[in-house]
Amino acid sequence: MIHHHPDGDMLLSYASGSADEATGLIVATHMHFCAACRTQAQELEAVGGSLLQLLTPAPLEDDALESVLARLEEIKPHQPPHRNLSIDGTPSVLRHYIGGDLSSVRWRQIGSRLAYAPLFRRGAVSARLLRGVPGAESGPHSHRGMEYTLVLKGGFSDVTGTYGTGDLQVMAADQHHNPIADPGEDCINLAVTTGPLKFDSLLQKIVAPLFGF
């Protein structure tokens, strides 16, 4: 059962199409697991569509129809790319960035207990996959921006609670924690940060920038 969800503002920005790429990815991936948020997003989209109908129509130019028809002749029919189905349940929106399933990710090790796989960076915003063996700790840290962490497999716990598959943790810059992977299977997360992490450990402060953290 999912206990931690995107807030109303995140869902509204996603439903309205105003969310940035990273926020859109993490919300869409959460909705793969969460029927309640899928329903809420659909309702918000329906409300937005209703509001559009209330707008006063804008007049068109005299040659608007001819212009549209001329452009239609230039458009080639869309051929959707062929996509193989996931064999391990990886959300389709995430497979687009991975290039396949979670089981095919080429992990980069950070010591013997942690690993990561970068997805993309847009300015100060980074999206990556994180994996920790049971009992692995990220290390105590705070943030220089927002940190969003969505559990894809396994789970983790910290001072804010326990997070399982589908749960989304949102941490602000002034919040401090040390996520620890739960017993059992490896914990795999989708993480989005809007600024570097601020580790307590001197060693991690030195090493983190080398890995893009």
pLDDT tens digits for 160-191? Answer: 999 999 999 999 999 999 999 999 999 999 99
- The residue that leads in pLDDT, 84 or 209, is 209
Concatenated DSSP letters of 51-67: HHHTSPPPPPPTTHHHH
DSSP code, position 169: E
More confident residue, 62 or 86: 86
Q: Quote the pTM value.
A: 0.83
Please report, for the chain, the start and end positions of each structural domain, with discontinuous segments joined by +. Answer: 103-211
Count of positions (residues) in the chain: 213
Question: Does the pLDDT value for residue 51 go beyond 50?
Answer: no
Measure the CA–CA gap between 102 and 190, rounded to whole angstroms: 11
- Contact between 3 and 167 under an 8 Å Cβ cutoff? The reply is yes
Give the Cα separation of 36 and 26 in Å (integer): 16
> Of the candidates 130, 120, 117, 119, which has an alpha carbon nearest to the alpha carbon of residue 169?
130
Topology (CATH level 3) of domain 103-211? Jelly Rolls (2.60.120)
Q: How does the average pLDDT of the chain come out, rounded? A: 88
Report the SS3 class of residue 35. helix
Residue 69 has pLDDT above 50, yes or no: yes
- What is the model's pLDDT at position 207? 85
Strands (E), 105-196: 108-110, 114-122, 125-132, 141-143, 147-153, 155-158, 161-164, 168-171, 180-181, 187-193
Can you give the pLDDT at residue 49? 53
